[in-house]
C-alpha cells in the first residue's frame, strides 16, 4: 500500500530522471540526428530493394529515400532545440547544480509543523561501523533510538555524540530562546544508563561536549572520525545553524560520500571532536568498576 511519502519519493525519482534525460539528449541531439538520418536512409533503401530489386531503382526513389531520412532528422533537430531551451529552466538547473555539488537530498526540518522532526530510519540502517551525531543536546535522538543504540553497541559499532558543553550554553540559550541545560542532562542521564548496562562496550559509546558553539548540526555515517582518519564512503547530513527560532528548524542537506563538502564537514567534525571533552566517561567508568568489583 502506497503512502504519501511513497508517492513523493516516486515523484522525486521521476523528476530527477527527467532532469538528467534532458541534458543527456541536448548534448547528443546532433549525433542522434545524424544517426537517424543514416539509419532511416539505410532502412528505406533496404526495404525498397527487398520489395522491387535494383532494376526499379530510379532517381525519384533515391530522392524519396533522402527526403524520408531528412524528415526524421529534422524531428531530431527540433527535439534538440526544445531540449536546449528547456535546460534554462531554473528548477532543472538547480537540481543539476545540487547533484554536481554532491547534494543528494534537500529536506526541511520544522518541529512546529511536525515535518522531519526525527532522524529517518534509513540513515541508521546505512551505519555499518560508526555513527556520530552533532547536536545541541541530542535528547530527542537518544530517546527515540535507545533500542538502536543498544543493538549498535552489541554489533560492535561505534557511536559518538558531540554536544554543547553544559558549562558553555550562553549563546545557545540566547539563540534557541530556551534552556538547553535540562535537555543535556536528560541525554547524559540516558547515556550513563546505557553505559552502565553495557560496561564492556563503553569504549564504543563516547559522549563529548564542545566548549564553544557549533554552527551546524548533523549526522556522519561511517566517516571514521572517532578513529582519527576519514574515508570517502559514508553519508553526511548537515543542518546549518538556524538563528531564527531554534535549531529544530532549517534545511537539511544529505551529501554523497564522494562530495567535497561531505569531506569538508567531516574534517570540521573531526576538529570539533578532537577539541571536545568527555561528558560521561568518568561516570561510566565508576559504574563499570563497581560492576567489575
pLDDT at 3 (0 to 100): 44
3-state SS class at 254: strand
Structural domains in the chain? 4-97 (no CATH), 102-292 (3.30.870.10)
109 — pLDDT class (breaks 50, 70, 90): confident
> 109 forms bridges with which residues in the sheet?
250
Asked if 213 and 171 count as a contact pair (C-beta separation under 8 A), the reply is: yes
pLDDT tens digits, one per residue of 116-147:
666 777 888 899 999 999 999 999 899 999 99
Q: Does residue 87 surpass a pLDDT of 50?
A: yes
Asked if 157 and 204 count as a contact pair (C-beta separation under 8 A), the reply is: yes
7 — pLDDT class (breaks 50, 70, 90): very low
pLDDT at 240 (0 to 100): 85
Distance CA 143, CA 113 (A): 20
Angstrom distances, CA of residue 193 to CA of 112, 199, 246:
30, 10, 28
Q: Does residue 115 surpass a pLDDT of 70?
A: no
Residues in the chain: 293
pLDDT tens digits, one per residue of 256-274:
888 889 999 999 999 999 9
Distance separating the N- and C-terminal Cα atoms of the chain: 54
pLDDT at 66 (0 to 100): 74
pLDDT tens digits, one per residue of 21-45:
555 555 666 677 777 777 777 777 7
177: closest CA among 229, 244, 95? 244
Q: Does residue 6 surpass a pLDDT of 60?
A: no
Amino acid at each position: 500500500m502506497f503512502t504519501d511519502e511513497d508517492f513523493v519519493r516516486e515523484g522525486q525519482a521521476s523528476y530527477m530522471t527527467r532532469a538528467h534525460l534532458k541534458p543527456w539528449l541536448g548534448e547528443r541531439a546532433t549525433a542522434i540526428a545524424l544517426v537517424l538520418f543514416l539509419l532511416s536512409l539505410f532502412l528505406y533503401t533496404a526495404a525498397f530493394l527487398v520489395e522491387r530489386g535494383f532494376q526499379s531503382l530510379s532517381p525519384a526513389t533515391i530522392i524519396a529515400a533522402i527526403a524520408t531520412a531528412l524528415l526524421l532528422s529534422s524531428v531530431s533537430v527540433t527535439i534538440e532545440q526544445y531540449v536546449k531551451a528547456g535546460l534554462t529552466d531554473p528548477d532543472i538547473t538547480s537540481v543539476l547544480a545540487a547533484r554536481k555539488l554532491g547534494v543528494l537530498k534537500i529536506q526541511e526540518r520544522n518541529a512546529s509543523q511536525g515535518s522531519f522532526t526525527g532522524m529517518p530510519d534509513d540513515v541508521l540502517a546505512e551505519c555499518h561501523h560508526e555513527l556520530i551525531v552533532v547536536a545541541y543536546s541530542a535528547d530527542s535522538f537518544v530517546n527515540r533510538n535507545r533500542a538502536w543504540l543498544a543493538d549498535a553497541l552489541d554489533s560492535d559499532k561505534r557511536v559518538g555524540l558531540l554536544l554543547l558543553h553544559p558549562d558553555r550554553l550562553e549563546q545557545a540559550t540566547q539563540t534557541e530562546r530556551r534552556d538547553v541545560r535540562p535537555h543535556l542532562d536528560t541525554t547524559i542521564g540516558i547515556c550513563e544508563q546505557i553505559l552502565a548496562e553495557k560496561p564492556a562496550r563503553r569504549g564504543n559509546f563516547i559522549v563529548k561536549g564542545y566548549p564553544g558553539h557549533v554552527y551546524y548540526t548533523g549526522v556522519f555515517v561511517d566517516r571514521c572520525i572517532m578513529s582519527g582518519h576519514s574515508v570517502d564512503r559514508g553519508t553526511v547530513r548537515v543542518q546549518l545553524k538556524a538563528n531564527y527560532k531554534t535549531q529544530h528548524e532549517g534545511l537539511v542537506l544529505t551529501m554523497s560520500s564522494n562530495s567535497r563538502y561531505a569531506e569538508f564537514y567531516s574534517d570540521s567534525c573531526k576538529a570539533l571532536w578532537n577539541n571536545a571533552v568527555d561528558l560521561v566517561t568518568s561516570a561510566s567508568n565508576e559504574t563499570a568498576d563497581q560492576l567489575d568489583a
